[in-house]
Amino acid sequence: MDLINIITDLIKFRTETGNIPEIKQCFEYCKILFAKTDAKVEIFEKEGVAPVLYIRNTDADKFDVLCLGHLDVVPATDEMFTPVIKDGRMYGRGTLDMKSFAAVAFNSMFHVLENKLNLKFGIILSSDEEKGSKGTEAFLEAHKDIKAKIVLDNDVGGNILSIVNKCKNPVFVKIIAEGKEAHGSTPWEGIDANEKLLHTLNNIREIYPYYSKETKKPKDTWIDTVHFAKIEGGQVSNVISNYAEALLDFRLTEDSTVKNLEKNLKKCMEKGVSYKIVSSSTPVVMDPKNEYIQAYKTLAEEVLGQKMFFEQIGGATDSRAFAVKGSIVIMNSGTGEGMHANGEYVEIDSVQKLAEIQKRFLDKLASKA
């Protein structure tokens, strides 16, 4: 297959999360790519959630290798859906996050099929990853027996020399403050929910410090963090607010637990303020010494001609659903910058090399099968 042309085609689809008609068109395009092969292509749909693209070379639920990713993107200007190639880079929305690497997964499937590799191989691509992956959750609920020995996760874009072996646990928490309305000129007759919320948030900051480009970066960034994602309170300027809420985004390391987070939250709540865990997951932690991860690293270094390194990231990954089932998750992606930004790009050479790494890795696995 022509890897670069397919990436170019994928970028042109305006698959912003929630744009279901365009997402379905993109999925149909992907389906046509495999029309003349033996691949089984399914578009999973369930009312109320975004569709999921499921491609495989087997009817079995137990895979030797699964590629995970997504084809939805964050919003962008019209121009960003017209990819531009310049100085060895491809610019456009989704070049780095992560349509280029979805195309790499397609390339791997063609390789498995054309060479009749003795591997049960599959691809799962969601279309709402940027807003919580509810479609993936529904898909996995409908396919409860799916397992994979190895998961190739390319949704960690940034540096092809990096193998990510740790991802944090994202925990979203809603803080709710209740007060009593009164006229703004007589605050002593009311109870200001906004004030209660602010005091509570300040208490939380005593445990989980504030970091930004304007503050000192911690020496060890593998720590629990929180950012105040959304704060709302009050309706008009001259009325004491009787209700306020905030949405908090915690990122917990593998040494932390939701139970301990709740213990800390309880300490921080002011009178009339409560909290609710909106969602939580699990961190992904892989042993860098695992034989399959080491085998991948060795092959990748041969292709790249450079040494690779392991790192940890604060972001979450859909591969956590398989990590908890015992899958070996190999998180490696291509090189680029500007994820979610106007100048998003991927280095084309890194995409081609990632495709070559995956093919060699699959060949090695098949030779031992």
Q: How many residues does the chain have?
A: 369
CA 364, CA 357: separation in Å to the nearest integer? 11
Is the confidence at residue 369, as pLDDT, over 90? Answer: no
Give the whole-angstrom CA distance, residue 96 versus residue 80.
12
For residue 127, what pLDDT is reported?
97
Residue 146's pLDDT is: 97
Helices 348-368 + 99-114 axis angle, to 10: 40
pLDDT in tens, 108-151: 999 999 999 999 999 999 999 998 889 999 999 999 999 999 99
User: For the residues 343-354, what does the mean pLDDT come to?
Assistant: 98
Taking residues 237-258, report their average pLDDT.
97
Each residue of 72-115: pLDDT tens digit? 999 999 999 999 999 999 999 999 999 999 999 999 999 999 99
How far apart, in whole angstroms, are the C-alpha atoms of residue 238 and residue 192? 12
**Span 155-165, pLDDT tens digits:** 987 899 999 99
User: Looking at residue 129, what DSSP letter applies?
Assistant: G
CB 346 within 8 A of CB 100: yes
What's the confidence (pLDDT) of residue 157?
A: 73
pLDDT of 309 > 80? The answer is yes
Looking at per-residue pLDDT, the higher value among 132 and 231 belongs to 231
Bridge partners of residue 53, in order along the sequence: 43, 125
Q: What is the per-residue pLDDT across 7-59, written as a single tens digit (0 to 9) for each?
A: 999 999 999 999 999 999 999 999 999 999 999 999 999 999 999 999 999 99
pLDDT of residue 305: 98
What is the per-residue pLDDT across 175-186, written as a single tens digit (0 to 9) for each? 999 999 999 999
Please name which of 13, 252, 280 lies closest in space to residue 132, comparing C-alpha atoms. Answer: 280
Is residue 168's pLDDT more than 90?
yes
Average pLDDT value for residue range 277-301: 95
As given in the structure block, the two tokens for residue 127 are 């279309």
pLDDT tens digit sequence for 333-346: 999 999 999 999 99
d(CA 329, CA 167): 11
User: In the chain, what are the helix, strand and coil shares in percent, each to the nearest 5?
Assistant: 35, 30, 40
DSSP 286-311: --TT-HHHHHHHHHHHHHHSS--EEE
The predicted structure's pLDDT at residue 366: 97
Q: What is the C-alpha radius of gyration for the chain, rounded to an integer number of angstroms?
A: 23
